[in-house]
Chains A and B, each alone.
Chain A
């Protein structure tokens, strides 16, 4: 019934106005079915999913989207995979490196009942999709999965730090067990010296069970301060993000600003600033990929991983003023000013 009304109204609109905009809605109106999209997120829905759905709605793509939450636990994956196999959706949407790997698996992994392999996939919020072996390259994914990259280049990140203040020593505290962090640090080690700056690297010591010790983070922050660091760099590191509050509290105590490469520490901790992608825009970009797969019938293996060309400079002004590091005037009209949501 709803679909009939939609078709009729779309037809009327197309008849009334013969311009380009309505012409674009025609393929959607002509297609004879509603696309089923199955989304899996890591820790609840975010702005990315909102942007994703908003774009599809704007384009008039008939779809129905189901979203399941892993709730920070990979152990919840098998149940969801079972559900996906029964629902037989047209597209699977995954949020984050862990989610994507536990639902869609690695690029060269053999066929398995425990993974979704035969349905096209789109990933978002994966920091290093190639290193994480989700696709074989940005240009040619090498399987029926593509997605959107969300990190700004290291160079752009460092440049935005320098636009704020002429920092000299950058300290990075990271979880050695996380592949994302290892890749991130090796990139920093390559690029930071090239830009005439110094990089101080502090891996988090491990507990007896082999996992990184959260208790050690505040000490490392103080250690960084004592080594002469003037800014802390927070990479796409889920361990650090998880313990972000303690990390940034220590940073505030030491009087060090924290730069973040992802949105979540800026939103949830006392990180001072960061060059991040806008989640809503990111979701729209993913939806562009989805539309090409669903409506235009393109194959994910032919679609390169998409990148945003613009990032936003997020500044938590309350953190900046607590540190006495006011933003320079040249950034006033460029930056997005927020209040960190931590008291």
Chain B
């Protein structure tokens, strides 16, 4: 029927128009609130920092002042009460060393007599102290308030003996750097909190805006558009009692009224027809009715539910966030409990929980798909939350290394169930025209969690400890479960299934692995990427940064850079790859970037980068590189799989790829342990770089030789069925 085709077309153009409008409303609302929030936060932080400078800086020097007072009063007692001449004081060096040892922020202690002669000095190297003291002597206006800034040191002078000849003074030096460091630490924490609250606000606002306003309005418009074509059959299903809900109720009443009136009308027409003696008039009436029925459809409608992919966003984000909270300190947490009397090395014992977590994810995920198909997204998500919460609480109560591992594995099972359930939801609810956007929602939720988790987790761990942070993870996971429990309906999703069960057969896998392009995408790009993620980011970074003297907050903040780099690059690189179809090249550049960024750590000292700087460089390079690899790799694997569409099926090929890919996560920590044992933390980073670089070069070689037709006429998010 031609009519239906036209109707379909009109509907599509309507939806497109609607989507652009919806975007406008949402963007404006979210931007407005976020900007207001940001201005408020920046203003408050600014004043807080001003206050910090005014109030806290003197307080920091107050500590030095207290030490100065204590030492000078003892010296004054020795000189004044015990009548020991200042130049004959005994054991001043050991005495000063004791104070310097227990007060790390004090850089030097010195006694200068009335003639300006340096009697005793202890602290940094004698040469620098001499220049400082020379400068001090030329400018002897020192006081005990640490206001005299000499060559980067704040000097405080304390009188210990006053005679006619002049004053003998104790000089206490603190670095202004120390105070500045504390200041920056605070600025970083504030900025992190602002950035994260910004992201979280955005997530929640977008969620509620979409769910409560834009989505129902979209449905009303769709149904109204149908109405303008004469279709008054569909009912809108909306549970909420708010303004939108009232609007929908009145709309449903309107439709119901129309239907009743139409039924009355039909009844009358039928009666009229039957009352006619003249057959031709009866036929005329019947034709009128037929024509009317062609123009208007008032019965046999469906219930229109307000469902959308976006509903998964907040619960998924919350869960990923809760798991990522412990990211920055898992290795440290484990090393607290790792037994020391085992045959296995301590490093392996620390890496083992990460490996087993990943193994649990790898094993459970393939079964997860089937479970979601049978029991629905809601049940499996909630089951995942149950596992994860037990795992988190178990880790909160951890007593031994073994129960720590057990509960990490439970969390891993929960993690994979939730991941599969969320993926299932996206697949079930994504519509043809916005598949890219749907996948985007999924990826964003995951990466926003990856960005927010480590820094917040680090700050929490720093303040309340590792174990208590797991308790907070448990609470967040419970909240995520509650949202799913509230928002999702069990009966909704089962009968809307569109997927076929995928069975991985051994011979299919062998066929796939024999394909050099499948093989090289898998083994030379995907597995190394995952390996670096689990081995470098999750294992090496926390341990090495801690050894470099960073606290949990600082480690978390630096780890956040990985998520930020990926998040900022993933959509741009996806679009670029889609537009240019240069998937292989994008993957290659991503691999080069990651590899070189890691290898750069070998030369960090030559180019004047600190050890921490080298780690940051590698983290950023991996973040950007992974974003490029991930996006293009997806498209490539779909295409490679396409070659086997007839024999194996594309979906099977893709899911086989996913399973294999995760082996990278499993071996990652073990690779890290081996590299660290061989080269130490710093050079192990370069070790990862060498592995990534070698493999990406092999990948490029194979791709060039095998002359693929990849990128000819396929797009990134081609439906995978």
Contact = CB atoms under 8 A, between A and B. Distances in A.
Interface of A: 317, 321, 326-333, 337
- Secondary structure at chain A's binding surface: helix, strand, loop or mixed? helix
A326 B81 CA distance: 12
Contact of A330 (B75, B77, B88, B94): B94
A330 B91 contact: yes
Nearest to B70: A333
Contact of A329 (B81, B83, B90): B90
B95 A328 contact: yes
A329 B74 contact: yes
Given A326-B82, A327-B82, A329-B95, 4 more contacts: A317-B82, A329-B74, A329-B92, A331-B91
A328 B81 contact: no
A327 B90 contact: yes
B78 A332 contact: yes
Contacts of A327: 78, 82, 84, 90
24 contacts: A317-B82, A321-B82, A326-B78, A326-B82, A326-B84, A326-B88, A326-B90, A327-B82, A327-B84, A328-B90, A328-B94, A329-B74, A329-B89, A329-B90, A329-B92, A329-B94, A329-B95, A330-B94, A330-B95, A330-B98, A331-B91, A332-B74, A332-B78, A332-B82
Interface in B558-592: none
Contacts of B75: 329
In this complex, which of A327, A330, A331, A332 has the most chain B Cβ atoms within 10 angstroms of its Cβ?
A332
B74 A328 contact: no
A332 B92 contact: no
A251 to B, nearest CB: 20
Contacts of B95: 328-330
B54 to A, nearest CB: 34
A328 B91 contact: yes
A332 B75 CA distance: 8
A321 B83 contact: yes
Interface string B91-105: 110110010000000
A333 B74 contact: yes
Contacts of A332: 74, 77-78, 82
Interface in B83-129: 83-84, 88-92, 94-95, 98
Which 4 A-B pairs have CB atoms at the shortest separation, nearest pair first? A328-B91, A329-B95, A328-B90, A326-B84
B69 to A, nearest CB: 13
In this complex, which of B74, B78, B83, B88 has the most chain A Cβ atoms within 10 angstroms of its Cβ?
B78
A326 B94 contact: no
A95 B88 CA distance: 42
B83 to A, nearest CB: 6
Nearest to A333: B74
A214 B138 CA distance: 62
A326 B89 contact: yes
Contacts of A321: 82-84
Contacts of A333: 74
A293 to B, nearest CB: 43
Interface string B49-82: 0000000000000000000000000110110011
Contacts of A331: 91
Nearest to A325: B90
A141 to B, nearest CB: 42
A332 B95 CA distance: 10
Interface in B165-222: none
A225 to B, nearest CB: 22
A331 B84 CA distance: 14
Contacts of B91: 328-331
A112 B81 CA distance: 56
A334 to B, nearest CB: 10
A321 B78 CA distance: 12
A333 B91 CA distance: 13
A331 B83 CA distance: 15
A116 B89 CA distance: 55
Nearest to B71: A329
A328 B77 CA distance: 12
In this complex, which of B75, B81, B90 has the most chain A Cβ atoms within 10 angstroms of its Cβ?
B90
B537 to A, nearest CB: 49
Contacts of B81: 337
A235 to B, nearest CB: 26
Nearest to B83: A321
A328 B83 CA distance: 13
In this complex, which of A317, A321, A328 has the most chain B Cβ atoms within 10 angstroms of its Cβ?
A328
Nearest to B78: A332
A116 B534 CA distance: 84
B102 to A, nearest CB: 13
A331 B82 CA distance: 12
Nearest to B98: A330
A330 B92 CA distance: 8
A326 B77 CA distance: 13
Contacts of B88: 326
Nearest to A329: B95
A329 B120 CA distance: 12
A317 B83 CA distance: 9
A40 to B, nearest CB: 39
A130 B98 CA distance: 41
A321 B84 CA distance: 8
Contacts of A337: 81-82
B395 to A, nearest CB: 44
Contacts of B98: 330
A327 B95 CA distance: 12
A317 B98 CA distance: 24
A230 to B, nearest CB: 15
Contacts of B94: 328-330
A8 B88 CA distance: 62
B67 to A, nearest CB: 13
A308 to B, nearest CB: 26
B98 to A, nearest CB: 7
B225 to A, nearest CB: 83
Interface in B413-467: none
A140 to B, nearest CB: 43
A331 B95 CA distance: 9
A270 B95 CA distance: 28
A327 B83 CA distance: 11
B205 to A, nearest CB: 59
Contacts of A326: 78, 82, 84, 88-90
Contacts of A328: 90-91, 94-95
Contacts of B89: 326, 329
A321 B92 CA distance: 17
A327 B89 CA distance: 8
A328 B98 CA distance: 13
A326 B82 CA distance: 9
Nearest to A321: B83
A326 B95 CA distance: 14
Nearest to A335: B82
Nearest to A327: B90
Nearest to B90: A328
